Amino acid sequence: MSQVVGRFAPSPSGRMHLGNLLCSLLAWLSARSAGGRVVLRIEDLDAMRCPRTFADLLEQDLSWLGLDWDEGGSKGGPHGPYYQSERSEIYNLYYQRLVERGLVYPCFCSRGQLHAASAPHRSDGQVVYPGTCRNLTARQVAEAAKRRPPAWRLRLPEDLTLSFTDGHMGPVTENLPADCGDFVLRRADGVFAYQLAVVVDDALMGVTQVVRGGDLLSSTPRQLWLYQLLDLPAPTFCHLPLLLAPDGRRLSKRDGDQSLENLQARFTPEQIIGKLAYAAGLRSTPDPVRAADLVADFSWDKVPRQDICLPDGLF
């Protein structure tokens, strides 16, 4: 069997917080417990929102926690560059393959039109694209292009059901046209969409195992379709439960006390890892522990599938 390659793929728009700390810990444990390698890719597609200083801090934070990686980030390696903001030429190569096959069309819908009250919504709150711009004539496109630059969408087949088994969450099935609709590959500002970038990156970087937050579970069928269209090898996926505040609210960057900057002032790396491992079901007590000492006993079976509510007073 070929070697497991896992990855960290953080978006450095701020300091790490508990949610992405847990994700990094589990991604690292999942790869290392299988004797695998780890790649660090910086997901700074929105380069303006992700200054390099945050990416550098993120590397320091991962190292401080004892989560190491074999290639990527400022360390470089054979599959670089490892910053998405430097990879648009690579994304364009794959994007053009889809363009050449007639699978990409311009969409001139405004945000307001897309989010109109009549628009069908997915369970995750996203809008199902109704195909408004799917069959515009060349003349209509030329007219609309005078008013605004278009986003570029992938034309899906009329009927397309994708199923896969998530390594942690189990079987997932989605009918892409009905549940999502034609999705954006390139934004109106020219930036390639996350869906395309993540597929190209994971495939070219040899990633075999994607561990990430459960909020991305619903985007996986879109990515699997892109893997098929581009004839790229798809990785396996393990999606994590959400980490919730003690009162059941979703943790976010706005929870300033949960940012690593604040946690570092109060705890050692071993204390933070110990508390996270306890919250995630990996240990029976929140005692301090090194990440490396969790590798031998790691198992996805210990991690709950339902949302994890942080015990009151743990952090």
**Residues with a known catalytic role:** 253
Site string for Zn ion, 122-161 (x = CB under 5 A): ----------xx----------------------------
For the bound state, the minimum distance from the C-beta of residue 281 to Zn ion, rounded and expressed in Å, comes to 44
The strand pair at 104-107 and 71-72 is best described as unpaired
The smaller minimum CB distance to Zn ion, of residues 4 and 107, is found at 107
- Using the rule CB under 5 A, is 67 a contact of Zn ion? no
The smaller minimum CB distance to Zn ion, of residues 77 and 131, is found at 131
Q: What is the three-class DSSP state of 13?
A: coil
The smaller minimum CB distance to Zn ion, of residues 109 and 279, is found at 109
The closest of 242, 244, 277, 240 to 258, measured between CA atoms, is 244
Q: What is the three-class DSSP state of 217?
A: helix
For the bound state, the minimum distance from the C-beta of residue 110 to Zn ion, rounded and expressed in Å, comes to 9
Are 17 and 251 a contacting pair, CB within 8 Å? yes
Choosing from 31, 39, 67, 109, the residue that interacts with Zn ion (CB under 5 A) is 109
DSSP H/E element including 285: none
**Other beta carbons within 10 Å of 133:** 20
> Residue count at the site for Zn ion (CB under 5 A)?
4
- Using the rule CB under 5 A, is 185 a contact of Zn ion? no
Q: What is the three-class DSSP state of 150?
A: coil
For the bound state, the minimum distance from the C-beta of residue 80 to Zn ion, rounded and expressed in Å, comes to 35
The smaller minimum CB distance to Zn ion, of residues 144 and 230, is found at 144
- Using the rule CB under 5 A, is 289 a contact of Zn ion? no
The smaller minimum CB distance to Zn ion, of residues 69 and 108, is found at 108
CA atoms within 13 A on the CB side of 200: 25
The smaller minimum CB distance to Zn ion, of residues 92 and 132, is found at 132
Q: Judged by CB under 5 A, which stretch of 102-110, 161-169, 190-198, 280-288 contacts Zn ion?
A: 102-110
- Using the rule CB under 5 A, is 107 a contact of Zn ion? yes
For the bound state, the minimum distance from the C-beta of residue 261 to Zn ion, rounded and expressed in Å, comes to 41
Rounded to a whole number, what is the largest CA-CA distance in the chain?
A: 67
For the bound state, the minimum distance from the C-beta of residue 99 to Zn ion, rounded and expressed in Å, comes to 17
Lay out the sheet containing 184-186: strands in order across.
104-107, 151-154, 184-186
The strand pair at 5-8 and 104-107 is best described as unpaired
**Secondary structure E strands in 159-263:** 161-166, 170-175, 184-186, 209-213, 236-240, 243-244
For the bound state, the minimum distance from the C-beta of residue 242 to Zn ion, rounded and expressed in Å, comes to 31
The closest of 226, 225, 232, 251 to 240, measured between CA atoms, is 251
- Using the rule CB under 5 A, is 243 a contact of Zn ion? no
Q: Judged by CB under 5 A, which stretch of 103-111, 141-149, 184-192, 228-236 contacts Zn ion?
A: 103-111
- Using the rule CB under 5 A, is 198 a contact of Zn ion? no
- Using the rule CB under 5 A, is 263 a contact of Zn ion? no
The strand pair at 243-244 and 308-309 is best described as parallel
Q: Where along the sequence are the contacts to Zn ion (CB under 5 A)?
A: 107, 109, 132-133
